[in-house]
Structure 1
């Protein structure tokens, strides 16, 4: 398997970035759902959000890397069995996911830095507030964050269902290419 994409397959870097982002988003979503119900005296009351923020900011860097990589490693050609509308919807879904991810990450950062404080990433380094103290920003950013995150989950679920549709019903190599597997043998 090559490192870079070619006209027929995804390379290991694109595949790794895709699955790293996918599993990180699922993990952040699960952690976010769990931590909103924590009580003040729960041991994870501060630890959960600290992990969520730190991973979210690292994901921001990975997403920037992923976009940069996409410039240098164009996507493989669409499979010949794909309809034009399927290709268009796939592109819209991917760009929609990218956009929503950046909205979620920026709004998450704004929730944490709306009081003017910096945001620590696992204690390794801190990202200063770009807004300073802004009354009400935390609530607005929180609403945007929640809408963006749920939109990501819905769109990512549709994306996964489309991949399964291609694999199970169309019996094409769409999912196999993103898993790094060899093409199916044609009879």
Structure 2
């Protein structure tokens, strides 16, 4: 079982992190958009934010581990035939996805801690409010949280469209290598 990355393919750990985070991000976006319209009398009024915050904290841990893993592992080379502009766009998109996700998670923390309350992590322990009471903290953080999430979803759609373009039109292994570790032929340098 190939757990580690190779210069020609991703390992199971990188693949699992990719898909777990993708599912969490999509799920959190759906729940986040849904829960803002809940009223006080909804049975989900307190439950939805609890799960949104807990999964958001878990996503923060996954992001930190994913960045550590990416730093410690080789990055597979692009499949043969990728144009230089495609490689630059992919690199820029990945960097923006990571950066926006960090902004979303930080702003979510600032929304939740604006009044000085900590954040429950699945009821197991509380993450303390290290930053609270700033002027307009909840409103400004909420605005940043929403728009960063919308931009992230747009970039994720671009990312998925690129993977589908490579799979369906270019017929290369870009998408396949994020589904299972498969050594691929790479460009010679």
Measured against the shorter chain, the TM-score band is: over 0.9
**Residue deviations 1:115-135 (CA, integer Å, cap 9, x gap):** 111111111111111123234
SS in 2 for 1:60: helix
Higher relative contact order at CA 8 Å, sep ≥6: structure 1 or structure 2? 2
Aligned structure 1 segments of 4 or more residues deviating by more than 2 angstroms: 132-135, 181-184
* 2: CA distance, partners of 1:181 / 1:14: 10
- Normalised TM-score (structure 1): 0.95
Matched, 1:174 2:171: no
Tell me the CA shift for residue 46 of structure 1.
0.5
- Normalised TM-score (structure 2): 0.94
Q: Which residue of 2 aligns with 1:95?
A: 95
* 1: CA distance, partners of 2:132 / 2:59: 23
Q: Which residue of 1 aligns with 2:132?
A: 132
> Which structure dedicates a bigger proportion of its chain to helix?
1
Q: Which residue of 1 aligns with 2:22?
A: 22
Structure 1 gaps, min length 5? none
* 1: CA distance, partners of 2:154 / 2:99: 14
**Residue deviations 1:96-138 (CA, integer Å, cap 9, x gap):** 0000000000000100001111111111111111123234100
Q: Which residue of 1 aligns with 2:187?
A: none
